Amino acid sequence: MSKLVNDFNAYRQKMNDKIIASDNLVIKRFFNLDTNTYQDGALSAKTKEMLGLVVSMVLRCDDCVKYHIQRSYELGLTKEELFEIFAVANIAGGSIVIPHTRKALEFWEELTA
């Protein structure tokens, strides 16, 4: 895998471990709940990851985008579908989403290379 992808994952894992280790009960439960949110249910896990991705784009959270792009890709997201998510994010969120679209595509390219 690419350095961009690896570095992101390593930093994310290292800091999440430290946050969990703090033993703040609210945060531990929230991290747990966050994971449970994207499980298969009435909507498939893939659909939920797409929801998580589009939300991350309009809220302009590059690290959240990276996480959900990986999960969506693992669950079968295609490049054509990715661009339709980009389209919704750009139209709903406006041109300020464009810089995040650039970074999202760069991450996707490294991930799928």
| Contact partners, residue 92, CB within 8 Å, separation at least 6 | 58
Give, as ranges, the residues between 48 and 67 that touch a copy of itself (CB under 8 A): 48, 50-52, 54-56, 58-64
For residue 58, the SS3 value is: helix
Nearest approach, Cβ of residue 25 and a copy of itself (Å): 8
Q: Which of 2, 73, 90, 111 binds a copy of itself (CB under 8 A)?
A: 90
- Write the burial class of residue 107 (CB in 10 Å: 0-12 exposed, 13-18 middle, 19+ buried): buried
Under the binding rule (CB under 8 A), the answer on residue 76 touching a copy of itself is no
In sequence order, the 6+-apart residues with CB closer than 8 A to the CB of 110 are 1, 2, 4, 5
Residues of the shown chain interacting with a copy of itself in the complex, contacts defined by CB under 8 A: 11-12, 15-16, 18-19, 22, 24-27, 29-31, 33-34, 36-38, 41-43, 47-48, 50-52, 54-56, 58-64, 78-81, 83-99, 101-103, 105-106, 109
